[in-house]
Amino acid sequence: MGKKQVRQVRQQMRKVQPKAAASNAQGATRRQRERFVQAGGMLQGYSPDYVIRIGYIAIAVAVVCVLIIAACLIFLPGIYGWPDAVAAAVAWVFPIALLASFVAPGFRLALKDRKAEPRLVQGQLVGASSVSTSVGLGMLMVQTRGGVEQFLVPPARLKQVPGNQVNVVLTVTPHLHHVKSLGVMGQRMVGRVEPPVPPVMRRLQLVPLMTPLALALGAVVGDDGVALIPLSPSAIHAVVAVLVGAILAGAVYGVSFVLQRRWMEQVQALVPKT
């Protein structure tokens, strides 16, 4: 009986271990997403003034969407009925939600960085590249006391970075991690050679920008396009309009996900294997 119990315990352990590993992986992914949002999301690395300008533009776009919602609720009920008017107005809530989720975290951090003192980072240069997944920003890797840190840097500041290992000094804003200045300590013995940027990398940079725009456009065109077609009964017509908008937005998201995954595989294939 003792041997049977031992075998049963081992079998149970084998069954439980993969679940624990999966839960740990999910927890790590969730923490990475939280850190990404806390650092400004897609606006991480950009200057606070630039992010604030984007925030003001987003607020203006949100105000326009609110005005369109009000116009739909005022003028459309007399023509199409209240169900269709509400369905047409609901579509314009989606762009506001997208702007709030993508721009608001970075805008809030940019306001803090405007008044905060930048922190000083010093370490040994590990690597540099004039291109990254963020449009208009390169990447710099520095070995500090806490480990290897990555920074998004404007390509103009990377021109002074050599190809040999030297010490670098950066001033970085505490929230958006924008590199305000970059200094090189030591002799610049080897020039840094920049390989040509593959076209797939350029396409990958546009995914975070084009996906929200395409999602909002798909939802608005699908919803309002069907809602403004004179059909009856009005209630069923409104439900169909909302469903069409949701289906179009889902299709756009699916295509974007597939393209991003394919392009990421192509980028990883370009990395030399050791």
pLDDT digits (tens, 9 = 90+) for 64-116: 999 999 999 999 888 888 888 998 999 999 999 988 888 988 999 999 998 88
Residue 28's pLDDT band, with cuts at 50, 70 and 90, is very low
Percentage of residues in the chain having pLDDT higher than 90: 18
What integer pLDDT is reported at residue 6 of this predicted model?
A: 45
pLDDT score of 52 more than 90: yes
Least confident of 2-6, 16-20, 107-111: 16-20
Distance, CA of 87 to CA of 224 (rounded, Å): 8
| Calculated CA dihedral for residues 25, 153, 52, 133, nearest 10 degrees | -50
What average pLDDT does this structure show over 167-187?
86
What integer pLDDT is reported at residue 65 of this predicted model?
A: 95
What integer pLDDT is reported at residue 35 of this predicted model?
A: 61
234 half-sphere exposure, CB direction, 13 A CA radius: 13
What integer pLDDT is reported at residue 230 of this predicted model?
A: 80
Distance, CA of 128 to CA of 120 (rounded, Å): 19
* Ordered domains of the chain (ranges, CATH): 41-113+197-270 (no CATH), 117-185 (2.40.50.140)
What integer pLDDT is reported at residue 102 of this predicted model?
A: 87
Encode pLDDT of 119-172 as tens digits. Answer: 998 888 888 888 887 888 888 888 888 888 888 888 888 887 876 678 888 899
What average pLDDT does this structure show over 202-208?
81
What average pLDDT does this structure show over 207-215?
85
pLDDT score of 193 more than 80: no
Encode pLDDT of 228-258 as tens digits. Answer: 888 778 888 888 988 999 999 999 889 988 8
pLDDT score of 13 more than 50: no
CB < 8 Å & 24+ apart, contacts of 225-233: 227/80, 227/84, 227/87, 227/88, 227/91, 228/80, 228/84, 228/88, 230/80
Residue 53's pLDDT band, with cuts at 50, 70 and 90, is very high
3-state SS, the chain, equals: CHHHHHHHHHHHHHHHHHHHHHHHHHHHHHHHHHHHHHCCHHHCCCCHHHHHHHHHHHHHHHHHHHHHHHHHHHHCHHHHCHHHHHHHHHCCHHHHHHHHHHHHHHHHHHHHHHHCCCEEEEEEEEEEECCCCCCCCEEEEEEECCEEEEEEECHHHHCCCCCCCCEEEEEECCCCCCEEEEEEECCCCCCCCCCCCCHHHHHHHHHHHHHHHHHHHHHHHHHHHHHCCCCCCHHHHHHHHHHHHHHHHHHHHHHHHHHHHHHHHHHHHHCCCC
